[in-house]
A and B are shown apart, each in its own frame.
Chain A
Amino acid sequence: MEEERSVNDAILKVEKAHTFIGQHHILQGISFESKADAVTVLIGRNGAGKSTALRTVIGLLPPSEGKIFFKGEEIQKKKPYEIARMGIGFVPENMGIFAGLTVEENMRVAMLVEDEATTQRLERALDMFADLRKFWKGKAGNLSGGQKQMLAIARAIVNDTSLLLIDEPSKGLAPIIVDAVIEAINQIKDHSVVVLVEQNFYMASSVGDYFYIMDDGMVVHGGIMEELVHDEGLKSKYLGISKTGD
């Protein structure tokens, strides 16, 4: 019973969060949670506030109202570096690569400690993304879009993160690279909980266990991904996907 509850408990819980960017009220009281051992996908059209939701969780855009709990602890007033050190990894939409550093330096900067466990995680990440080993001493700014995305994900999983926030990993990538990213996320979910922001429904449905649909800064629907896959009405209404046109 105890074991069952821990699996179902939310590792991340966002409660009625409001976030402003300048004078613009972007998140208008969103609530969602991410369950342990699962991938939760925030899905929605452009400008729905999905990326802002992730940036709010990591502390880059602190909420003006509402609460955010990570493993039961309130984090909405903490600084990004404090939140990151609690075990939350973040892969931003633009990948946030340190272009002037080499692939190796990017990875080493991400390693908050260089112990045996981190070294093993580094090797695991490099096994997952073989290209990174190949361009180990090359400038990260010279990598292709897909390789940059791989580096961004590898950097986020090199630490002992229990929650990984990934913002639109498929954006601008060729379909074959998207498949590689899907495979990587499926491997990552064995080690940490993932919250994914995604517009690409193919990717979202391939990796997601739960979903939340966002529209105009609000969460308008949530549930099990399997149900959304078969709900043509919901997909058509909020995601602009029709049975013939997706």
Chain B
Amino acid sequence: MAEATPVQIFHMEEKRRQYRSGGFFLKVGLLALFVLVPFLFPSFKTVDLAMQIIIFATLVASFDILLGYTGILSFGHGMFFGIGAYCVAFLVGKYGTPSYANLALGFVIAALVASVLALVISFLSLRVKAIFFAMITLALAELAIVLATKLSGFTGGEDGISLNMPGVLAVSFNAGNFLGLEITGRILTYYFILLACLGLFLAMLRFTHSPLGRVLQAIRDNVERAEALGYKTFVFQAISITFGCVVAALVGGLYGMWVGYVNPESCLGVLSIMLAILLMCIIGGMGTLYGGIVGAAFFMITETFLPDLQHLAKDFFPSAVLLHNVLERWHLVLGVLFILVVIFFPKGIIGSVREFIDRRK
């Protein structure tokens, strides 16, 4: 057997160190927290918040593959998310009976539709300039909302479509009590989605840490140079876009399963969904994947609890009228918080923390 080279030895040591690092334990701890949320905080609001964080963290990570890892700005990511949600809703709601086969088929169709559409958009726009990709996806996202609203006979229009989950995932399912927690269809759906999102997240990590992921980052940093190294950059960009969009569609399907209802505004909205994805990605840190978790947690927690602050302010500071007025307009506070994050964490929270740790090394 050939002796290992210094580079190979370095690599083996690095792998061994990886499983003893603080970062590894932090990730395991975070996963354990999400697993335990229904047991520790069984209220509807907290479980729903945890689920929204999990879903959006995965969605933002898929967006990060495009923006952070490939340097491509897409305004159509929300559209792919919506396509996934609608595909599943069609199969277990409007056009199909609630069965596991229909549910699985909904996800397969979502992945197929997303991959074909992403490839078509890539071929139409990437050969010219990356900015055209942003413009075309924005136009298509708007078109998708119009179609979903106007084709009401097919899509349910603004009224949307309700989803009915099969078997153990149905709202009516109840398997009794386990360690003080009522095992309902909703709790099982929570764990199903958590597992699916974990699988998708691991797949994205594998993707970005593969040789292909390295090439994508090289393309992001310097397209011309990557081409002069021997890479057909357009093909790599198309693969990245397709992968990211398919993941977004699958996450959309999971979102539909959780909320049990899809309509154009909640699943396709450029402002409601796309802007949130972009903000979460910037807040968490582009090109990190884990930034999606931090960004989604920051955004969801502030959006959920900021409106409650006005009640707290009224209880604790009844005469502070200015404070009441400010907290009533909690979107303004959210905007200020966002500006502060951008100022103090210019590379996003994860990006800036990593930079700080790198500098200390």
Which residue on chain B has the smallest CB distance to residue A159? B230
Counting CB contacts under 8 A, is B214 at the interface? yes
Task: Choose among A97, A108, A122, A133 the residue that contacts B214 (Cβ–Cβ < 8 A).
Answer: A108
Taking CB atoms and an 8 Å cut-off, the chain B residues in 214-249 that contact chain A are: 214-215, 217-218, 220-222, 224-233
- Within the complex, the shortest CB–CB distance from B1 to chain A, in Å, comes to 13
A98-B218 CB under 8 A given contacts A80-B228, A136-B10: yes
Cβ A81 vs Cβ B358 within 8 A: no
Task: Choose among B2, B7, B230 the residue that contacts A112 (Cβ–Cβ < 8 A).
Answer: B230
Counting CB contacts under 8 A, is A100 at the interface? yes
Cβ B218 vs Cβ A122 within 8 A: no
How far is B232's CA from A84's CA once the two chains are assembled, in angstroms? 11
Counting CB contacts under 8 A, is B315 at the interface? no
Counting CB contacts under 8 A, is A32 at the interface? no
Cβ B5 vs Cβ A98 within 8 A: no
List, in ascending order, chain B residues with CB within 8 A of A97's CB. Answer: 221-222
Cβ A108 vs Cβ B211 within 8 A: yes
How far is B232's CA from A79's CA once the two chains are assembled, in angstroms? 9
Counting CB contacts under 8 A, is A182 at the interface? no
How far is B5's CA from A108's CA once the two chains are assembled, in angstroms? 15
Taking CB atoms and an 8 Å cut-off, the chain A residues in 66-85 that contact chain B are: 79-81, 84-85
Counting CB contacts under 8 A, is A179 at the interface? no
A81-B5 CB under 8 A given contacts A99-B221, A100-B220, A101-B221: no
How far is B217's CA from A13's CA once the two chains are assembled, in angstroms? 34
Cβ B215 vs Cβ A96 within 8 A: no
Main secondary structure of the interface of B (DSSP, over half): helix
Counting CB contacts under 8 A, is A60 at the interface? yes
List, in ascending order, chain B residues with CB within 8 A of A119's CB. Answer: 5, 7-8
List, in ascending order, chain B residues with CB within 8 A of A246's CB. Answer: none
Task: Choose among B7, B215, B224, B287 the residue that contacts A60 (Cβ–Cβ < 8 A).
Answer: B224
Cβ A81 vs Cβ B230 within 8 A: yes
Cβ A123 vs Cβ B230 within 8 A: no
Counting CB contacts under 8 A, is A30 at the interface? no
Cβ B228 vs Cβ A126 within 8 A: no
How far is B57's CA from A23's CA once the two chains are assembled, in angstroms? 48
How far is B13's CA from A104's CA once the two chains are assembled, in angstroms? 15
A122-B229 CB under 8 A given contacts A98-B222, A100-B287, A109-B214: no
- Within the complex, the shortest CB–CB distance from A40 to chain B, in Å, comes to 19
When each residue 2-24 of chain B gets 1 if its CB lies under 8 Å from chain A and 0 otherwise, what string results? 10011110100010000000000
- Within the complex, the shortest CB–CB distance from A76 to chain B, in Å, comes to 15
Counting CB contacts under 8 A, is A191 at the interface? no
Which residue on chain B has the smallest CB distance to residue A140? B221
Cβ A96 vs Cβ B224 within 8 A: yes
Cβ B211 vs Cβ A85 within 8 A: no
How far is B233's CA from A112's CA once the two chains are assembled, in angstroms? 14
- Within the complex, the shortest CB–CB distance from A9 to chain B, in Å, comes to 25
When each residue 109-123 of chain A gets 1 if its CB lies under 8 Å from chain B and 0 otherwise, what string results? 110100010010011
Size class of the contact patch on chain B: 20 to 34
List, in ascending order, chain B residues with CB within 8 A of A159's CB. Answer: 230
How far is B214's CA from A106's CA once the two chains are assembled, in angstroms? 8
A85-B214 CB under 8 A given contacts A98-B225, A123-B5: no
How far is B215's CA from A106's CA once the two chains are assembled, in angstroms? 9
How far is B112's CA from A107's CA once the two chains are assembled, in angstroms? 35
Cβ A109 vs Cβ B229 within 8 A: yes
A81-B233 CB under 8 A given contacts A133-B6, A136-B10, A139-B358: yes
List, in ascending order, chain A residues with CB within 8 A of B226's CB. Answer: 98, 109
Cβ B211 vs Cβ A96 within 8 A: no
Counting CB contacts under 8 A, is A92 at the interface? yes
List, in ascending order, chain A residues with CB within 8 A of B231's CB. Answer: 81
List, in ascending order, chain A residues with CB within 8 A of B224's CB. Answer: 60, 80, 92, 96
List, in ascending order, chain A residues with CB within 8 A of B211's CB. Answer: 108-109
- Within the complex, the shortest CB–CB distance from B284 to chain A, in Å, comes to 16
Given contacts A100-B217, A122-B7, 16 further A-B contacts (CB under 8 A): A58-B228, A59-B228, A80-B228, A85-B230, A92-B224, A92-B225, A96-B225, A98-B225, A101-B214, A109-B217, A112-B229, A119-B8, A123-B5, A123-B7, A139-B358, A159-B230
| Residues on A facing B (Cβ under 8 Å) | 58-60, 79-81, 84-85, 90, 92, 96-101, 104-106, 108-110, 112, 116, 119, 122-123, 126, 133, 136-139, 142, 155, 159
- What would be 22 A-B contacts, judged by CB atoms less than 8 Å apart? A58-B228, A60-B224, A81-B228, A81-B229, A81-B230, A81-B231, A84-B229, A84-B230, A96-B222, A96-B228, A98-B217, A101-B221, A104-B7, A105-B217, A108-B211, A109-B214, A109-B215, A109-B218, A116-B2, A126-B7, A139-B358, A142-B358
Q: Give 7 closest A-B pairs by Cβ, nearest first.
A: A96-B225, A84-B230, A98-B221, A80-B227, A109-B218, A85-B230, A98-B218
